[in-house]
């Protein structure tokens, strides 16, 4: 799957950007910002913008005209309570030509005050506690946007306790993973696997990471599915543990 | 007057007795006799603390006197040995007079010693001499003290192979020194005469024709002699109690003592309330904050140390960290039994707790207030603390309960995965209630304990409230779980994706090429590059559109091609953008807002909306589509397959 960029907009690599939080991720954010634009050949009168956003909030700051390196410290993100899901876009805009976007970096995560990236890197399987009584089940996979979300019955208690339990790992993870992969196989996937925002790309890359090859288009891929699940369970290394537990009366 | 042994003849009217106190310490939570000894001895010492600003110091020492040294003959004469070797005294394989004597010393400092009227034969408050030396199943401890059953003292004779101890005390109250000893056997026979279980080593005051009253010796020479003979560290000015248990059981070892001291008393040690010295011959250990924090492996061995380390870490941080996250819950508005309900752990608090423990190493202290009411009295406010630390290794841990410094193993609380937790009850009304409910070994809170049942309103509910507190808190944290957690399974379901350099200008790539000066050993250079997959088409960008042409090499048979096209959307993936195509973007078959496709060497052409399908029998085919909006990015997805299911 190809994306054709007709406007000549350039991508700014994340390695050229540094956004450092002054405090912890759970504090109202104040950031220092730096972008290194050497080598991008942007016109020098273009304006650079920093945009902070999360699911429901957005702030935009003009940080200066294009130059080799742009810095701005103590940017106070007063519309945000914390930096938990905060990310940034950096845009280089030609304001003399009606706002043509000359360059962009998207979804840049801030570093903490020690300049370390946020330790909480993202999972490809978000978890949510939900009232599932209307479904009559204790867990299910919910599909929305480009996400598959593992929903767990809220009455079971703390979701971390639930999804990290051995039973969940042994029985639910493989079933949920199979369900997700089957839907991807049925809906089709981007065989270039180059867009990490794409659900199929994330999960097929995950399967590749486990050691599975890519599925074959227009085939039932039953064998591929079994292989992917087997590789995943090998990695989880929980099968024998559960058998031991249950041989000691775990079903009782 | 010189101290001597006296075994009391059993009168016809007296019952035969087999002291049963030891059975109170044989439960699942007490591993061995050393465990019971360490728990009870230190608990008594902590209760007897004098200067609250200084730690209580205790000392365990295991030494040996050879038979040739003749030391033990000063304390055990031939007459006494007849009793210790009596066939029916209840001892299994007891030592004999000709054996060497391995003995255990327990001493405490900065403590009161055995105080009170030593001549009293009735209980009176504060008379620890009476309760220790003269009472069985009675305790002079106040509410708020750690012990209270009067059973704990039995661990001392129980450690000895002849059920015996010698005691030397310096009393803080009047600075007097006293020495006495006891042995607790079963009712037994010597030379056809039956004797009661209890024997005294001390001085005796005659009372009537054949009765007497046991008293400790206050002879300074006897005190000095016992200090020297057993290498005690007490001087006549150091208040406290020294106990010697001769012929100590061989399973009592320095290693076990250290292990139990560390696992039972790490909290008072880390908080500076207790210091423990242990020595066996010339080998010695100091169990203090430093050794618990930095030398635990050496103290306990790797395996035991690994079990305890998470709790040491939690306790250290809980005690020392000034900027600990503290969450104080509010009392339930209605006076009554404490309950873990949603309103008790309000949403703002549960969110604060969740935030604090969401990362590995996150620690929070939760203050849980509650009402305690003795039956027919007015209720009092009390509280306890829960400490929860997020574990980095995701293991399962039981909560540890600490009541006024004593660990209450309570193995009925369930394990919690991913969190290390402790419940700490400081002295106060709740501590008194829980102490009343404890069994004699202080290992469980029992709702039907004799000192507890009927004494409190909401007593059983209060025990459950404390016992289940950690699991209830973690369950109630669910209140703040309504949002999706994108990090929870990030150690299991994750991908390592390199950043795409699509649209990055060449000038940027050239100006910052990585330095590959590593020569032949450049680790960034792959050693094996797999052959690229054979191409079945070439997709090229035009000014306002694209062209799809055949590959450079011809292919066998016929191939089918499917093209789907859409404008890109901000914040959407390519797949999503394709799904979001709308007829008002363009319609290919109508040439609406886009040019009609220009075809060459294609068969079975079909198009509709944003879809184009065709087949080709030669690589010299082309499909060109122009006329798209040049201000928008275009997503083009091409799929190709051999008509005879010959996948390429």
Chain B, nearest residue to A126 by Cα? B486
The answer to whether B360 faces chain A, any CB pair under 8 Å, is yes
Q: What is the pLDDT of residue B603?
A: 93
The answer to whether A194 faces chain B, any CB pair under 8 Å, is yes
Q: Are A234 and A173 in contact (CB under 8 A)?
A: no
Count of H helices and E strands in chain B? Answer: 15, 28
The answer to whether B636 faces chain A, any CB pair under 8 Å, is yes
CA distance B459 to B308: 31
Q: What is the pLDDT of residues B516-570, one digit of tens each?
A: 444 444 444 444 444 556 678 999 998 889 999 999 888 878 899 999 999 998 7
Chain B, residues 67-106, CB within 8 A of chain A, namely none
Backbone angles phi, psi at B130, to 5 degrees: -60, -50
Q: What is the pLDDT of residues B148-203, one digit of tens each?
A: 445 567 788 889 999 999 999 999 999 999 999 999 888 899 999 999 988 999 99
Smallest CA–CA distance, residue A188 to chain B, in Å, is 9
Q: What is the pLDDT of residue A250?
A: 58
Interface residue of B394, B478, B512 to substitute, partner A, most A CBs within 10 Å: B478
The answer to whether A7 faces chain B, any CB pair under 8 Å, is yes
Contact B573 A10 (CB under 8 A): no
Size of interface A-B (CB pairs under 8 A): 205
CA distance B194 to A28: 82
Q: Are B490 and A122 in contact (CB under 8 A)?
A: yes
So what's the ipTM on this one? Answer: 0.72
The answer to whether B487 faces chain A, any CB pair under 8 Å, is yes
* Long-range contact pairs involving B494-499 (C-beta distance under 8 Å, separation at least 24): B494/A121, B494/A122, B494/A123, B494/A124, B494/A206, B495/A124, B495/A196, B495/A202, B495/A205, B495/A206, B495/A209, B496/A209, B497/A196, B497/A205, B499/A13, B499/A14, B499/A15
| 3 state SS of B404 | coil
The answer to whether A167 faces chain B, any CB pair under 8 Å, is no
Contact A217 B496 (CB under 8 A): no
Contact B504 A11 (CB under 8 A): yes
Nearest partner of B40 among B134, B159, B125, B135, judged by Cα: B159
The answer to whether B228 faces chain A, any CB pair under 8 Å, is no
Smallest CA–CA distance, residue A106 to chain B, in Å, is 9
Chain B, nearest residue to A1 by Cα? B637
A56 Cβ neighbours under 8 A, 6+ residues apart? none
Chain A, nearest residue to B396 by Cα? A165
Mean pLDDT over all residues of chain A? 85
Smallest CA–CA distance, residue A63 to chain B, in Å, is 21
Q: How distant, in Å, are the alpha carbons of A157, A201, B384, B404, B465 from that of B368? A: 20, 47, 5, 16, 10
Name which of A150, A161, A199 is nearest B417 (Cβ-Cβ): A161
Beta bridge pairs of residue B592: B587
A149 Cβ neighbours under 8 A, 6+ residues apart? A125, A126, A127, A128, A141, A142, A143, B484
Chain A, nearest residue to B486 by Cα? A126
Chain A, residues 44-83, CB within 8 A of chain B, namely none
Q: State the maximum Cα–Cα separation within chain B, in Å, rounded to a whole number.
A: 134
Find the range with the poorest average confidence among A92-101, A104-113, B351-360. Answer: B351-360
Backbone angles phi, psi at B169, to 5 degrees: -125, 145
Q: What is the pLDDT of residues A147-199, one digit of tens each?
A: 899 999 888 877 888 898 888 999 999 999 999 999 999 888 877 777 777 88
Q: State the maximum Cα–Cα separation within chain A, in Å, rounded to a whole number.
A: 75
Would strands B325-328 and B363-374 be described as parallel, antiparallel, or unpaired? Answer: parallel
The answer to whether B517 faces chain A, any CB pair under 8 Å, is no
Residues in chain B with pLDDT < 50? 25, 29, 148-149, 515-530, 646-648
Smallest CA–CA distance, residue B638 to chain A, in Å, is 6
Q: Taking the CB of residue A74, how many other CB atoms lie within 10 A of it?
A: 9
Contact A6 B483 (CB under 8 A): no
Contact B637 A199 (CB under 8 A): no
Gyration radius from chain A CA atoms: 23
Smallest CA–CA distance, residue B476 to chain A, in Å, is 7
Q: Which residues of A touch B485 (CB under 8 A)?
A: 126-128, 159-160
CA distance A64 to A58: 19
Name which of A11, A12, A160 is nearest B502 (Cβ-Cβ): A11
Residue B459, judged by CB atoms within 10 A of its CB (0-12, 13-18, 19+), counts as buried
Chain B, nearest residue to A188 by Cα? B575
Q: What is the pLDDT of residues A15-74, one digit of tens each?
A: 889 998 887 776 778 888 999 998 899 999 999 999 998 867 889 999 989 988 888 888
Nearest partner of A66 among A83, A49, A42, judged by Cα: A42
Smallest CA–CA distance, residue B109 to chain A, in Å, is 45
């Amino acid at each position: 799957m190809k994306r054709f960029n007709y406007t000549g907009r350039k991508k700014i690599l994340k390695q050229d950007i540094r956004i450092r939080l002054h405090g912890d991720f759970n504090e109202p954010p104040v950031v220092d910002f730096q972008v290194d634009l050497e080598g991008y050949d942007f016109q020098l009168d273009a304006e650079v913008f920093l945009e902070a956003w999360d699911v429901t909030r957005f702030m935009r700051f003009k940080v200066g005209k294009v130059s080799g390196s742009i810095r701005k410290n103590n940017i106070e993100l007063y519309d945000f309570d914390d930096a938990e899901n905060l990310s940034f876009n950096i845009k280089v805009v030609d304001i003399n030509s009606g706002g043509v976007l000359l360059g962009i970096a998207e979804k840049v995560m801030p570093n903490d005050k020690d300049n370390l990236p946020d330790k909480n890197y993202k999972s490809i399987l978000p978890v949510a506690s939900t009232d599932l009584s209307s479904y009559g089940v204790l867990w299910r996979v919910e599909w929305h946007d480009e996400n598959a979300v593992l929903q767990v019955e809220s009455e079971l208690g703390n979701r971390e306790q639930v999804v990290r339990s051995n039973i969940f790992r042994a029985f639910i993870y493989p079933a949920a993973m199979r369900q997700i992969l089957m839907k991807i196989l049925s809906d089709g996937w981007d065989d270039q696997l180059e867009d990490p925002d794409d659900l199929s790309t994330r999960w097929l890359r995950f399967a590749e990471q486990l050691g599975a090859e890519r599925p074959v288009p227009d085939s039932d891929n039953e064998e591929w599915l079994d292989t992917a699940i087997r590789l995943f369970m090998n990695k989880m290394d929980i099968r024998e543990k559960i058998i031991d537990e249950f041989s000691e009366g775990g079903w009782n | 007057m010189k101290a001597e042994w006296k075994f009391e003849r059993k009168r016809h009217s007296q019952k035969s007795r087999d002291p049963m106190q030891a059975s109170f310490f044989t439960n699942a939570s007490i591993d061995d006799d050393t465990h019971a000894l360490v728990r009870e001895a230190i608990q008594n010492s902590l209760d007897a603390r004098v200067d609250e600003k200084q730690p209580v110091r205790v000392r365990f020492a295991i030494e040996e006197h050879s038979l040739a040294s003749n030391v033990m003959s000063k304390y055990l004469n031939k007459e006494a040995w007849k009793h210790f070797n009596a066939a029916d005294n209840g001892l299994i394989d007891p030592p004999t007079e000709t054996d060497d004597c391995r003995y255990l010393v327990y001493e405490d400092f900065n403590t009161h010693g055995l105080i009170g009227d030593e001549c009293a034969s009735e209980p009176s408050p504060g008379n620890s001499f009476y309760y220790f030396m003269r009472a069985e199943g009675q305790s002079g401890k106040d509410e708020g003290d750690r012990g209270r059953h009067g059973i704990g003292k039995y661990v001392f004779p129980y450690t000895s192979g002849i059920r015996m101890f010698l005691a030397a005390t310096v009393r803080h109250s009047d600075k007097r020194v006293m020495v006495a000893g006891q042995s607790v056997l079963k009712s037994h026979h010597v030379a056809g005469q039956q004797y009661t279980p209890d024997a005294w080593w001390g001085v005796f005051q005659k009372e009537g024709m054949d009765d007497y009253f046991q008293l400790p010796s206050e002879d300074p020479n006897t005190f000095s002699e016992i200090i020297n003979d057993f290498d005690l560290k007490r001087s006549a000015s150091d208040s406290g109690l020294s106990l010697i248990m001769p012929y100590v059981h061989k399973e009592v070892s320095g290693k076990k003592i250290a292990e139990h001291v560390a696992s039972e008393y790490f909290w008072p040690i880390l908080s500076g309330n207790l210091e423990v010295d242990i020595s066996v011959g010339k080998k010695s250990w100091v169990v203090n904050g430093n050794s618990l924090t930095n030398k635990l492996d050496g103290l306990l061995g790797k395996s035991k140390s690994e079990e305890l380390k998470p709790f040491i870490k939690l306790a250290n941080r809980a005690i020392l960290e000034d900027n600990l996250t503290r969450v104080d819950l509010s009392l339930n508005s209605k006076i009554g039994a404490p309950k873990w309900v949603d309103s008790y752990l309000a949403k703002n608090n549960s969110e604060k707790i969740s935030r604090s423990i969401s990362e590995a190493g996150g620690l929070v202290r939760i203050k849980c207030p509650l009402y305690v009411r003795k039956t027919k009295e007015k209720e009092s406010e009390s509280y306890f603390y829960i400490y929860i630390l997020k574990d980095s290794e995701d293991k399962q841990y039981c909560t540890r309960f600490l009541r006024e410094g004593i660990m209450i193993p309570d193995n009925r609380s369930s394990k919690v995965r991913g969190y290390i937790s402790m419940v700490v009850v400081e002295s106060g009304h709740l501590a008194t209630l829980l102490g009343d409910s404890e069994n004699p070994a202080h290992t469980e809170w029992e709702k039907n304990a004799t000192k507890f049942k009927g004494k409190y309103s909401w007593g059983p509910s209060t025990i459950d409230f404390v016992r289940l507190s950690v699991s209830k808190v973690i369950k109630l944290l669910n209140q703040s779980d309504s949002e999706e957690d994108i990090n929870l399974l990030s150690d299991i379901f994750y991908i390592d994706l390199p950043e795409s350099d699509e649209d990055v200008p060449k000038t940027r790539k050239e100006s910052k090429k990585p330095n590959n000066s590593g020569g032949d050993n450049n680790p960034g250079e792959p050693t094996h590059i797999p052959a690229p997959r054979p191409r079945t088409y070439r997709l090229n960008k035009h000014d306002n559109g694209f062209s799809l042409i055949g590959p450079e090499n011809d292919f066998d048979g016929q191939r089918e091609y499917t093209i789907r096209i859409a404008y890109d959307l901000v914040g959407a993936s390519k797949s999503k953008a394709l799904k979001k195509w709308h007829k008002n973007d363009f319609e290919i078959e109508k040439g609406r807002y886009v040019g009609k496709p220009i075809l060459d060497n294609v068969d079975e052409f079909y198009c509709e909306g944003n879809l184009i399908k065709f087949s080709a029998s030669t690589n010299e085919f082309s499909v060109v589509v122009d006329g798209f909006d040049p201000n928008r990015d275009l997503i083009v997805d091409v799929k190709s397959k051999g008509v005879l299911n010959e996948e390429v």
